């Protein structure tokens, strides 16, 4: 029998297995499931990106291996977008590098900066690669809590205490808008965290995958809040902005030394992002209209579902990203019940229990569930109606 590595063994799929079993049971009984589970857009890729991809395939038919850091045109298009969107001036030559989406970029980042025994600070509830990348790099995850009492935002005092108590922390992750709680960090929080990171000589890494999914107020980028980027890095992706999860493209940008080391690491990992995909991305970064349409569409779905949650008396967070974070009590029980909610017409709803989104033993996460607003408006209306009917 072949055994996996000890590090891999740490990534149990237990919580997922429990939900998968409940899903299977519903499917066996013939339930149609309206799926708010995974945050993967079901709408098509931005059409300008499709054209870019097609033309890019021809243009690069003989280009060979792509550049490790991304074509100059790609880095320039991404930098120009950062300038328009956040008024920050990133040098395409030294301060940005292409990535195959944010997931692998986030996972691999610690490999460039973490030595065995170093610690990485991350949210107790959040995106799994912060933890997986740390562990596989030989680092130790240290968690800061995201609690309802603090509107699920990082508590600066707690972070300060953790930095004081764990001198081996070399890297700190922040994610705004936050998956799954939807909350958005404001200027003051960014400024306070940057100050702490500078004081403790820690790299501050900001996962900004959802900055384009907002209702009214535009979320900020970490790079807006300091002229000194020597310990700052941001991660962006077209996955959600342009319905481009299938393309696998994004970038990391920040201090030149950080990017230099990260580029060196990346030459060991892969051979760059396909040129045709970079061409698609260039087209996408240049267009904002499709992004505005995407926002309007999610906002409609959000309105439909939050009206039902309100009628059902459930507390929820719906600040940004395309999620709803809903207080449901026992989230595993709630998720199982939803899967067979309408027994008469055999319609169920799939959501993600909070337990599955906790990176550590965060028991209080069990009280919440995440809805990803990816089903069509019609399906969202049907699901909302069912929730209204069964919980009001
Ligand atoms: C918080 C967060 N960051 C990053 C990503 C990565 O997205 P991608 O790898 O598709 O760019 C996701 C995807 O769901 C996410 O939820």
Q: Are residues 146 and 97 in the same domain?
A: yes
Where a domain ends, among 235, 254, 286? 286
Residue 14 has pLDDT above 70, yes or no: no
Q: Please give the helix or strand (H or E) that residue 327 lies within, else none.
A: strand 323-327
Whether residue 1 is contained in a domain is answered as: no
Distance 392 CA to ligand 1 centre (A): 34
Q: What is the mean pLDDT of residues 195-209?
A: 98
Q: Are residues 295 and 211 in the same domain?
A: no
Query: What is the DSSP track for 232-280?
Result: EEEEEESTTTTT-TTT--EEEEE-HHHHHHHHHHHHHH-----HHHHHH
Whether residue 158 is contained in a domain is answered as: yes
Rg (CA), the chain: 21
Convert the pLDDT of each residue in 112-129 to its tens digit.
Answer: 999 999 999 999 999 999
CATH of the domain at 381: 3.90.1150.10
- Determine whether the shortest distance from the Cβ of 226 to ligand 1 is under 6 A: no
- Determine whether the shortest distance from the Cβ of 255 to ligand 1 is under 6 A: no
Ligand 1 atom nearest to CA at 179: 1
- Determine whether the shortest distance from the Cβ of 362 to ligand 1 is under 6 A: no
pLDDT of amino acid 88: 98
Question: Cβ of 107: how many Cβ atoms within 10 Å?
Answer: 20
Whether residue 268 is contained in a domain is answered as: yes
Q: Of the candidates 84, 94, 95, which has an alpha carbon nearest to the alpha carbon of residue 254?
A: 95
Number of domains in the chain: 2
Where a domain ends, among 246, 264, 286? 286
Distance 389 CA to ligand 1 centre (A): 33
Q: Are residues 123 and 233 in the same domain?
A: yes
Residue 10 has pLDDT above 90, yes or no: no
Confidence of residue 15 (pLDDT cuts 50, 70, 90): low
CATH of the domain at 244: 3.40.640.10
- Determine whether the shortest distance from the Cβ of 245 to ligand 1 is under 6 A: yes
pLDDT of amino acid 120: 98
- Determine whether the shortest distance from the Cβ of 252 to ligand 1 is under 6 A: no
User: What DSSP designation does 2 have?
Assistant: P
pLDDT of amino acid 251: 98
Q: What is the mean pLDDT of residues 351-378?
A: 93
Confidence (pTM) = 0.96
Between CA 37 and CA 329 the distance in angstroms is 18
Whether residue 234 is contained in a domain is answered as: yes
Whether residue 106 is contained in a domain is answered as: yes
Q: Are residues 240 and 309 in the same domain?
A: no
384 φ/ψ sector (left φ>0, alpha ψ -120 to 50, else beta): alpha
| Candidate from 106, 178, 179 with most ligand 1 atoms within 8 A of CB, to mutate | 179
Q: What is the mean pLDDT of residues 38-57?
A: 93
Average pLDDT, the chain: 95
pLDDT of amino acid 13: 66
Ligand 1 atom nearest to CA at 244: 10
Q: Which range of residues forms the domain containing residue 353? A: 6-44+290-391
- Determine whether the shortest distance from the Cβ of 179 to ligand 1 is under 6 A: yes
Where a domain ends, among 228, 257, 286? 286
Q: Are residues 31 and 100 in the same domain?
A: no
- Determine whether the shortest distance from the Cβ of 177 to ligand 1 is under 6 A: no
Q: Are residues 367 and 224 in the same domain?
A: no
Convert the pLDDT of each residue in 325-344 to its tens digit.
Answer: 999 999 999 999 999 999 99
Q: Which two tokens stand for residue 362?
A: 């965060």
Ligand 1 atom nearest to CA at 238: 11
């Amino acid at each position: 029998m072949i055994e996996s590595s000890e590090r891999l063994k740490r990534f149990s799929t237990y919580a997922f297995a429990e939900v998968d079993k409940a899903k299977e049971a519903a499917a066996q009984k013939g339930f149609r499931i309206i799926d708010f589970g995974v945050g993967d857009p079901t709408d098509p890729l931005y059409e300008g990106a499709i054209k870019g991809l097609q033309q890019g395939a021809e243009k690069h038919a003989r280009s060979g291996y792509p550049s490790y850091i991304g074509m100059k045109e790609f880095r320039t298009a991404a930098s120009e977008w950062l300038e328009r969107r956040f008024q920050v001036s990133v040098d395409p030559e030294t301060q940005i590098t292409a990535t195959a989406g944010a997931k692998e970029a986030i996972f691999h980042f610690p490999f460039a900066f973490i030595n065995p025994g170093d610690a990485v600070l991350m949210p107790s509830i959040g995106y799994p690669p912060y933890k997986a990348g740390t562990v596989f790099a030989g680092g130790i995850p240290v968690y800061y809590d995201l609690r309802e009492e603090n509107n699920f935002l990082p508590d600066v005092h707690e972070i300060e205490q953790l930095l004081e108590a764990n001198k081996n922390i070399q890297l700190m992750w922040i994610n705004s808008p936050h998956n799954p709680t939807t909350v958005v960090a404001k200027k003051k929080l960014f400024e306070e965290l940057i100050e702490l990171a500078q004081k403790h000589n820690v790299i501050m890494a900001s996962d900004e995958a959802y900055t384009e999914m907002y209702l009214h107020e535009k979320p900020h980028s970490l790079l807006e809040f300091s002229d000194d980027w020597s310990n700052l890095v941001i991660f962006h992706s077209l996955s959600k902005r342009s319905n481009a999860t299938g393309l696998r493209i994004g970038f990391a940008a920040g201090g030149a030394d950080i990017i230099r080391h990260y580029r060196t690491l990346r030459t060991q990992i892969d051979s760059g992002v396909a040129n045709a995909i970079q061409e698609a991305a260039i087209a996408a970064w240049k267009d904002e209209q499709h992004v505005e349409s995407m926002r309007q569409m999610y906002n409609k779905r959000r309105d439909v579902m939050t009206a039902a949650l309100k009628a059902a008396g459930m507390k929820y967070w719906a600040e940004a990203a395309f999620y709803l974070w809903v207080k449901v009590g026992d989230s595993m029980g709630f998720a199982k019940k939803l899967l067979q909610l309408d027994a008469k017409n055999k319609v169920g709803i799939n959501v993600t229990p909070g337990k599955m989104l906790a990176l550590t033993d965060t028991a209080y996460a069990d009280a919440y569930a995440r809805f990803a607003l990816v089903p069509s408006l019609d399906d969202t209306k049907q699901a909302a109606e069912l929730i209204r009917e069964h919980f009001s």
